[in-house]
Structure 1
Amino acid sequence: MAEQQQASRQDRAAEVEIAISKMLRIGIVLAGLVIVVGLVLFLVTGDSGYPGDTFPTSLLEIWHGMVELKSVAIIEAGLILLILTPVFRVFVSMFAFIHEKDYRFVLISILVLVILAFSFALGKVGA
């Protein structure tokens, strides 16, 4: 009976890892496609969509630029997706560890998310 439970846990862990790896692939491919769309738009139009050396610096500006099909905003959105893909992986992993009742790794995941949040906040302040 104990061997069946152990095998069942290993099967679930393998399923979670496969799901997470698929999620990472989808995130990277989606981010790459968005970046390529922005790059092609830039090459076709020859215009970034913004005057001079300006570019969007907030999520709201990037969103408005995407709605207006501004190439630089689309490229920046792709880069944001690329950055958020591994962050999302840590977030999903935290819930997988909660489900497995592996609280040591839950705490490690939370710590990693806090560190990432601080790094994003400090990067925004320094910009």
Structure 2
Amino acid sequence: MNEGHPAENQRAFAVELVISKMLRIGVLVAAAVIITGLVLFLVTGDSGYPGDTFPTNFGDIVTGLLAMKSVAIIQTGLLLLILTPVFRVFVSLFVFWAEKDYRFVLITAVVFVILIASFLLGKAG
């Protein structure tokens, strides 16, 4: 750590605190959405889709969410849960940029691009 720069240590601690709160909020929101969908499914006994079908792309999930279909609500919560740490990487990119730590900007940008590419390529698989 930089013992000679207490102001920088305070700023780094404040940034980490904000990011940790953001992660907690993301997980709690995702859990609330998933629980809402689960309760709706248990109360109605209906997934909102015929047979064993379910939405398989983002557009269908959004359409199902707007129609309050329980499975689409659960899938939305799962997407939020997945996107929470991705959002953390995205925010870290700007934090490192503001701190002028360009080496970590580059590393974080590469990680972010890999994450986005994995989502896009995962659809093809």
Partners in 1 of 2:94 and 2:120 — Cα distance? 24
When the two structures are superposed, what TM-score results if normalisation uses the length of structure 1? Answer: 0.93
The corresponding residue for 1:25 is 24
**What percentage of residue pairs aligned between the two structures are identical?**
65
Partners in 2 of 1:77 and 1:53 — Cα distance? 18
The corresponding residue for 1:122 is 121
User: Structure 2: where are the runs of 5+ without partners?
Assistant: none
Runs of 4 or more, structure 1, over 4 Å off, are none
Q: Which has the higher helix share?
A: 1
How far 1:9 sits from its partner (Å)? Answer: 1.1
- Report the RMSD for the aligned CA atoms in angstroms: 0.8
When the two structures are superposed, what TM-score results if normalisation uses the length of structure 2? Answer: 0.95
CA deviations on 1:23-72 (whole Å, 9 max, x unpaired) are 00000000000000000000111110000111111212111111111000
The range that moved more, 72-81 or 111-120, is 111-120
Partners in 2 of 1:66 and 1:30 — Cα distance? 15
The corresponding residue for 1:13 is 12
Partners in 2 of 1:109 and 1:19 — Cα distance? 18
Partners in 1 of 2:6 and 2:102 — Cα distance? 20
The corresponding residue for 2:93 is 94
